[in-house]
Chains A and B, each alone.
Chain A
Amino acid sequence: MKTIIKYDLLYFKKTSKFIVFGILGVFLAGLSALTAKYFNLIIEFSLGQEGIDITLPEPTVLESYTQFFSNFTQIYVFVLMFVAIMFFIQDKTRGHYPLLFTKPIYRSHYLLSKSIVITATVVVSYFVSALFFGYYTYFLFGEFDVGLFLIASLAFIAFMLLMVHLGLVFSVVFKTYLGAIMVPIAIFILFGLLTPLDGGIMKYLPQHLLVYPVSLMAQSVETSVVVITSLIALGISGGLIYLSIKLFQSKSLI
């Protein structure tokens, strides 16, 4: 297991994916705080040039949180899915399986390693970005709610891991990158459409993790609901890993 994790980490290191995730995350984090602080000023200035005199309200720290989670949902999650699915499926599409699986490598260890490495990448790169965002937000707005932001981050990470592990299942099912990426993206879009359904136990369904981080920062949703939904999403991710392993073990490799 240690060996295959080393092999997977080598991929991230040698192809500079670690740096890509880090730079993207930090860039989006900085951009979020800046946009929140100065977007109204930019609009006022632009409209003023056109002769329209308008005064927008002073931005609050909530706008910074909203920008951060929007940017991460719209850009970071997509990049993550594209990279993660490439990472999962490339040994198959590039024909590495015959050399890999004629070695004493358990198929379960192979997939677990992929899951561990991508989870570590998501968590580390997210928290580096979040740290930068927290510092910059505090610098620009003079306040930052660390406790709530940590819970919101847990929810957001749980959502990202759910999407990544959906990708893992479809990387096992499909033989091509395109096939493996299309279904998780379709599910992601479907999740967006299903967020209004929040009555009763529906509020615990994982698609709400798309909006819960912002709602939590605005204190318009109970913390317990966010935590339970996050744990459900993590549980589903665990189930998806198990399903991937079972599917992988039952399939011919070539």
Chain B
Amino acid sequence: MTILEVRHLNKYYDDFKALDDVSITVKANEVYGFIGRNGAGKTTTINSILSLIDFQSGEIFFDGKEVSKRTMYDKRHIGYVPDVPSFPRYLTARDFLAFVYDTYQLPVNEKEEAIKAALFKVQLEDTSKKISGYSRGMKQRLAIAQALIHKPKLLVMDEPTSALDPIGRKDILDIIRALKKDLTIFYSTHILEDAQKVCDTIGLIEKGRIVFEKPLKEIINHQKQAFYMETDSPVNEVLKCLKGSDFVNDEALFNGGVLFTLKDVDKLVSFQKYINDKMIGITLLRPHEKTLEDVFVEVLNENNH
């Protein structure tokens, strides 16, 4: 079942086309990783989905209902975590969560329980302190707590780990892992390692256009096959040899060996024979599992040529 659908979204800032025919489909109960470089259009897409900005053309549907700045159904059922959340500094976490809870017009007698549950989920305990005294990590946890307090159907997270140190980043990823059992998450990031850890589907945006939208497993498995090779010859000579061959692409030095992709995986035996004929002894040859980052760079390179 589709929970969020963006159809042919176009957004201009004066003459600059920020979004170019962006279409996205997010299925219920998945973590959708929305990846792209800084300035690719991730935040503009999210701001459009959340009706924070206007767009020139296109449609957005949440749970089958059209989204606009006047519609409230989407606002009642979406939780949002910004990249750098800004809270009223004079409030405590409890004050802010109580206000957020009240905006959803939920039962008053369940308010305290809901606040406690939201704080527990993000492991934020000291709620008597004013938010002005919070660290970035604590603010990010509070941002997640306020986004969860009304039990949303969809959680939209805009680069929630980008401003955090490694420990804070790990904590947020742990929270996402725990949350993904119960709700749909639209997770925007440029940290591909994070996306690979938690996402089910990946949408890649580049220069305002969606380059692909596929399940993560499919992306990793269906890319051109990569291999890592070590030999008894100097690596530079091996690299030179690979460059002159018709079998390989994208050859590069990697961890003391050579990393390359075969144009045709079925020609692996022929490739080995070709190497042996060049008097190079292969000491190790194994498939190299590509990371999302490898795929990202590859796709963007293809896209830019």
Residues of A within 8 A of B (CB): 3-4, 6-7, 10-11, 14-15, 94-99, 101-107, 249, 252-254
Which B residues, 58 to 90, have Cβ-Cβ distances below 8 Å to chain A? Answer: 69-70, 72, 75-76, 78, 80, 82, 84-90
CB pair A3 B102 closer than 8 Å: yes
**B: interface residue count bin:** 20 to 34
> Given contacts A3-B103, A6-B99, A11-B88, are A99 and B52 in contact (CB under 8 A)?
no
Contact of B69 among A10, A14, A99, A107 (CB under 8 A): A107
Residues of A within 8 A of B75 (CB): 102-105
CB pair B54 A103 closer than 8 Å: no
CB pair A96 B87 closer than 8 Å: yes
Residues of B within 8 A of A94 (CB): 86, 88-89
Contact of B103 among A104, A253, A254 (CB under 8 A): A104
CB pair A3 B52 closer than 8 Å: no
CA distance A98 to B70 in the complex (A): 15
Besides A11-B90, A105-B75, 18 new A-B residue pairs in contact (Cβ under 8 A), listed by A number: A3-B103, A14-B90, A94-B86, A95-B84, A95-B86, A96-B86, A98-B85, A99-B80, A99-B85, A99-B143, A101-B51, A103-B75, A103-B100, A103-B104, A249-B69, A252-B53, A253-B52, A253-B53
Residues of A within 8 A of B143 (CB): 99
CB pair B95 A99 closer than 8 Å: no
Q: List 22 A-B contacts (CB under 8 A).
A: A3-B99, A3-B102, A6-B99, A6-B102, A10-B91, A10-B95, A94-B86, A96-B86, A96-B87, A98-B52, A99-B80, A101-B50, A102-B80, A103-B75, A103-B100, A104-B72, A104-B76, A105-B103, A106-B72, A249-B69, A252-B54, A253-B53
Whole-angstrom distance from the CB of B225 to the nearest CB of chain A? 43
CB pair B104 A104 closer than 8 Å: yes
CA distance A107 to B103 in the complex (A): 13
Contact of A97 among B52, B72, B88, B89 (CB under 8 A): B52
Of B84, B85, B86, B105, chain A has the most CB atoms within 10 Å of the CB of: B86
CB pair A102 B78 closer than 8 Å: yes
- Confirm or deny: B47 has a beta carbon within 8 angstroms of a beta carbon on chain A: yes
> Which residue from chain B places its CB closest to the CB of A250 in the assembled complex?
B54
CB pair A101 B52 closer than 8 Å: yes
CB pair A99 B99 closer than 8 Å: no
> Given contacts A10-B91, A107-B69, A252-B54, are A99 and B86 in contact (CB under 8 A)?
yes
CB pair A15 B90 closer than 8 Å: yes
> Given contacts A14-B90, A94-B86, A107-B69, are A102 and B100 in contact (CB under 8 A)?
no
The 3 nearest A-B residue pairs measured at CB: A95-B86, A252-B53, A3-B102
- Confirm or deny: B146 has a beta carbon within 8 angstroms of a beta carbon on chain A: yes
CA distance A203 to B76 in the complex (A): 51
Residues of A within 8 A of B52 (CB): 97-98, 101-102, 252-254
